[in-house]
Amino acid sequence: MRKLEISRVHDAYARGGECPLCDLVAEAETAYLRSFEHSRVMEPEVRVRTNREGFCAPHLRRLHAADNKLGLGLMVHTRLQLVRAQLEPELANAASAHGRREPTRQAAAAASRIRDLGSTCYLCRLLEQDRRRYIVTILYLWAHDPLFAPVFRASRGFCLPHFAEVLDEAGGSMKADRLRRWLDDAGTLLRESLSRIEDDLLAFTQLHRAENSSRGTEEVRAALGRALQKLSGVTRA
């Protein structure tokens, strides 16, 4: 069995919110980014992995906005060296290709290699591993902890992207009877959540009518942000 994150999951559900997985992943992401402001950036194993995987554009922007410019510069320098070494043969092959079709084939191969080099991110991979552990933990607690099931049923479910991932894990790990019961609980939460946000979002739009002097409730004022999170997983982080 994978390592479970029981205390973190309980804490996330205690905080409430539209999607506990969003909160858990955002918390882990912030912790990883902060770790790169300190000694983690120089750990040999980390340097090997960041050289090989690099970072996606959003994580590079957040690392660049942090204080450890020197550490980031060292990581990017060795990543550039690896990228250069891997691109050079592809570029040379493309430039020296002959015939009617070979230049086109070599150009496509170089383009594919460039895309491959930009498709990996060390931090995204860590977060994917964490997210899988959180999902496994939620499903385990729902199935085996009688105190967690009512907490789960009182929650607001998940955002749609994370709900799809939870469904994949549940479908691949649960037997049919348990899966049906899980789908009943989770599906009810999703329907109720979407209906509530739809009503709140309509009330939010009414706040902006000239003849409306009401400030609305806090839930209504936050409806747009909650709707964005529910639909796409966008969070304040």
Q: What is the pLDDT of residues 163-190, one digit of tens each?
A: 999 999 999 999 999 999 999 999 999 9
Q: The tokens of 18 are what?
A: 């539209």
Q: How many helices (H) and strands (E) are present in the chain, helices listed first?
A: 12, 0
Least confident of 125-129, 213-217, 225-229: 213-217
Work out the number of other CB atoms within 10 angstroms of the CB of residue 191.
11
pLDDT, mean of residues 144-164: 96
pLDDT, mean of residues 106-127: 93
pLDDT, mean of residues 79-85: 94
Question: Is the pLDDT assigned to residue 210 strictly greater than 70?
Answer: no
pLDDT at 94: 81
pLDDT at 213: 63
Which region, left, alpha or beta, applies to residue 122 given φ > 0 means left and ψ of -120 to 50 means alpha?
alpha
Structure pTM? 0.87
pLDDT at 3: 84
Query: Do the beta carbons of residue 126 and residue 32 sit within 8 Å?
Result: yes
pLDDT, mean of residues 40-54: 89
Question: Looking at residue 42, what DSSP letter applies?
Answer: G
pLDDT, mean of residues 53-62: 95
- CA 88 – CA 84 distance, rounded (Å): 6
pLDDT at 237: 40
- CA 155 – CA 170 distance, rounded (Å): 18
Q: The tokens of 158 are what?
A: 């998940």
pLDDT at 236: 47
- Among 112, 117, 35, CA closest to 72: 35
- CA 103 – CA 139 distance, rounded (Å): 52
Query: Do the beta carbons of residue 139 and residue 158 sit within 8 Å?
Result: no
Question: Is the pLDDT assigned to residue 235 strictly greater than 70?
Answer: no
Query: Do the beta carbons of residue 234 and residue 228 sit within 8 Å?
Result: yes
- CA 134 – CA 162 distance, rounded (Å): 11
pLDDT, mean of residues 119-129: 96
pLDDT at 152: 97
Query: Do the beta carbons of residue 235 and residue 209 sit within 8 Å?
Result: no
Chain Cα centroid distance, residue 76: 23
